[in-house]
Copies of this chain bind each other. A is one copy, B any other.
Amino acid sequence: MPNYIVAPLDTLVDRLESLPGIGHKTAQRLAYHILNMSEKDARAFASAITDAHEKIHYCRDCCNLTDGELCPVCRSDRRDRTIICVVEEPKDVFALERAGDFTGLYHVLHGTISPLAGVGPDQLKIKELLARMDSGVQEVIMATNPTVEGDATALYIARLLRPLGVRVTRLAYGIPVGGDLEYADNVTLQRALEGRRDL
């Protein structure tokens, strides 16, 4: 590479390049943008990173991200505490909250069982989910992603929960609203047919 290297700039480019989906060119562009920020903005950006890291941890009950002991959902007295929706990642909670229909609690697994990636049940928050079954939970909705790993994880957890007398459900598979039959894949169409309902 060129003999023109400014160490602090290079370090910043390297750090940005380590982010997912950011290549070398984009990292350079972002680094120049950061250099052109005001002193105040650059400081605020840096402290947003350390702040998020220091203040955010897992909710005591549902393992979602929060800056308190409990997350806002677990803290709320307007949520139905008899139903728990199990998701893979914190961003899934965000997606479901945005949809707005679900009024129960969540549980975040922080991953899926994936032997190829070396992730077993012990690395997920499954123990923490089982521990919550004492407190009057009647239904657990498995809302892991519709992938091989998501399905396997849902089945694994369902097998642990059923002996405890809890109803275990799975999100419906089918054609997405606003979608086009022509572009739906075969498996989705098969599932949509299987899951058909009376009009």
Contacts and interface: CB of A to CB of B under 8 A. Distances in A.
Nearest to A97: B2
A160 interface: no
Contacts of A30: 19-20, 22
A1 to B, nearest CB: 7
Contacts of A71: 4, 6
Contacts of A8: 48, 51-52, 55-56, 67
Nearest to A66: B6
Interface in A1-44: 1-9, 11-12, 14-15, 18-22, 26, 28-35, 37, 39, 41-44
Given A48-B8, A48-B15, A67-B7, A56 B35 contact: yes
A52 B65 contact: no
Contact of A52 (B31, B98, B100): B31
Nearest to A53: B42
A17 to B, nearest CB: 11
Interface residues of A, number: 59
A165 to B, nearest CB: 30
Contacts of A156: none
B50 A42 contact: yes
Interface of A: 1-9, 11-12, 14-15, 18-22, 26, 28-35, 37, 39, 41-53, 55-56, 65-67, 71-73, 76, 89-91, 93-94, 97-98, 100
Given A8-B52, A46-B50, 12 more contacts: A2-B94, A4-B72, A4-B97, A6-B71, A8-B48, A8-B67, A14-B48, A20-B29, A22-B30, A28-B94, A45-B49, A46-B47
Q: Which 10 A-B pairs have the closest CB atoms?
A: A2-B97, A46-B46, A42-B53, A12-B52, A46-B49, A4-B97, A8-B52, A12-B48, A15-B48, A8-B55
